[in-house]
Amino acid sequence: MLDMSARFAFNEDHALFRDSVRKMLERELLPNLDRFEEEGIVSRQFWLACGEAGMLCPNVSPDYGGLGLDFGYNAVIDEELAYAGSSVGVPLQNDITAEYVQAYGSEEQKLRYLPKMVSGECISAIAMTEPATGSDLQAIRTTARKSGDRYVINGAKTYVTNGQNADVVIVAAKTDPGLGARGLSLILVDADTPGFARGRNLDKIGLWSADTSELFFNDVEVPVANRLGAEGSGFAYLMNQLPQERLSIATSAQAAAQRAFDEALAFVKDRKAFGQPIFEFQNTKFTLADMKSQLQVGWAHLDWAIRRHIAGALTTAEASAAKQWHSDMQNRITDMALQLHGGAGYMNEYLIARLWRDARVTRIFGGTNEIMKEVVSRSL
């Protein structure tokens, strides 16, 4: 269980909410977690249970079925899911896709999608990355050609979280390929639209229970009314939402690193070598002390970033720095924790193996950590 005694980002209401989230995860997630990992996808029943528990899109306005809460509640969910060792795509829906619909959607779009996203009846995804385009969003090749009152979308996307489960996808597409970044728009595509197809559930190193897919668009026709916000403003919208997306990754990374440390500490106190617990060796104590120090710094910084974001002051450079630092730290901590497990750490029956596998991608998605350093350098 995460220790909240020294935290300063949350208040009593957040604490009560955290308690309810923990109880829900103990009831609905933990008994099914291994099955979700084996099947490579989280059941829709779990999504509905999250909706029933108020764990989906808590900061969506009550006008659209949400609770109208601050990002601190999103962070509570992110932390508890990560600490449980789950890679379910709930944070994507809570912290990213719902934000796009709420911030840029028309009233009709908000009424159509947000209540069902809150209840778990509608699972969402966002499709940006392409087979030949990663962090460089300006190089997107998927097109949305206007034909009367409709867009005709053609292209392919990959590494799409929630891709197999998604009922609606926010698609980043070029509505005017000749304008570069100013020609990019965001368009809502329902999964039952003719011409839309899902590829395979991708075989990943980690995040096994997070369904991640290729998506294909072959003359997919949608109304112009499905566009989010203004035509050509997609790149600006993506940039505007980066602080929350990257803070979300940092939050999950910190909690997962804490779980790795806790697993290692429990293991070395229980396992013996040469007649004494592994914990008693100086190397073990020094390694754990190093990990503990890094986590202490991480929690203090994360709370600072969460409070700053709730106040509307967290900058893109600050959020990028947080994503880079916390994900790098997560990778260091999980690797050190696995090493302390010895050979057992390489066995999938131990949670540390899953935490170690899942950590690697956090330095890649949401913008690679090399890109994060580039973003930070531009603020100097």
Look up the CATH number of the domain holding residue 56. 1.10.540.10
Show which of 122, 144, 164 is a domain's final residue.
Answer: 122
Where do the DSSP E strands lie in the chain?
A: 124-127, 143-147, 150-161, 168-174, 184-190, 196-201, 212-223, 227-228, 272-273, 276-277
Query: HEC string of 296-336?
Result: HHHHHHHHHHHHHHHCCCCCHHHHHHHHHHHHHHHHHHHHH
Do 250 and 369 fall into the same domain?
Answer: yes
pLDDT tens readout for residues 314-366: 999 999 999 999 999 999 999 999 999 999 999 999 999 999 999 999 999 99
Show which of 80, 96, 122 is a domain's final residue.
Answer: 122
Do 27 and 145 fall into the same domain?
Answer: no
pLDDT tens readout for residues 360-375: 999 999 999 999 999 9
Range of the structural domain that residue 78 is part of: 12-122
Is 2 within the bounds of a domain?
no
pLDDT tens readout for residues 281-315: 999 999 999 999 999 999 999 999 999 999 999 99
Domain holding 355: CATH number?
Answer: 1.20.140.10
For residue 156, count other CB atoms closer than 10 A to its CB: 17
Q: Is pLDDT at 137 greater than 80 in this prediction?
A: no
Do 186 and 283 fall into the same domain?
Answer: no
- pLDDT (average), residues 75-96: 97
Domain holding 185: CATH number?
Answer: 2.40.110.10
Measured in whole angstroms, how far is the alpha carbon of residue 100 from the centre of its chain? Answer: 14
Percentage with pLDDT > 70 across the chain: 99
Is 69 within the bounds of a domain?
yes
Q: What is the pLDDT of residue 273?
A: 87
Q: What is the pLDDT of residue 53?
A: 97
Do 264 and 361 fall into the same domain?
Answer: yes
Q: Is pLDDT at 133 greater than 90 in this prediction?
A: no
Do 211 and 334 fall into the same domain?
Answer: no
Q: Per the structure block, which two tokens stand in for 64?
A: 């659209």
Catalytic (active-site) positions: 245
Is 6 within the bounds of a domain?
no
Do 133 and 115 fall into the same domain?
Answer: no
Is 371 within the bounds of a domain?
yes
Do 367 and 264 fall into the same domain?
Answer: yes
Q: Residue 213 and residue 80: Cα distance in Å, rounded?
A: 25
Q: Is pLDDT at 136 greater than 80 in this prediction?
A: no
Q: Residue 153 and residue 230: Cα distance in Å, rounded?
A: 17
Do 176 and 116 fall into the same domain?
Answer: no
Do 356 and 255 fall into the same domain?
Answer: yes
pLDDT tens readout for residues 229-278: 999 999 999 999 989 999 999 999 999 999 999 999 999 999 988 999 99
Do 132 and 170 fall into the same domain?
Answer: yes
Is 71 within the bounds of a domain?
yes
Q: Tell me which residue of 151, 168, 180 sits closest to 116, measured CA to CA.
A: 168
Show which of 122, 150, 172 is a domain's final residue.
Answer: 122
Is 196 within the bounds of a domain?
yes
Verdict on whether the full-model pTM lies above 0.75: yes
- Total domain count, the chain: 3
Do 197 and 287 fall into the same domain?
Answer: no
Is 273 within the bounds of a domain?
yes
Is 283 within the bounds of a domain?
yes
Q: Is pLDDT at 149 greater than 90 in this prediction?
A: yes
Do 314 and 362 fall into the same domain?
Answer: yes
Do you know the residue count of the chain? 380
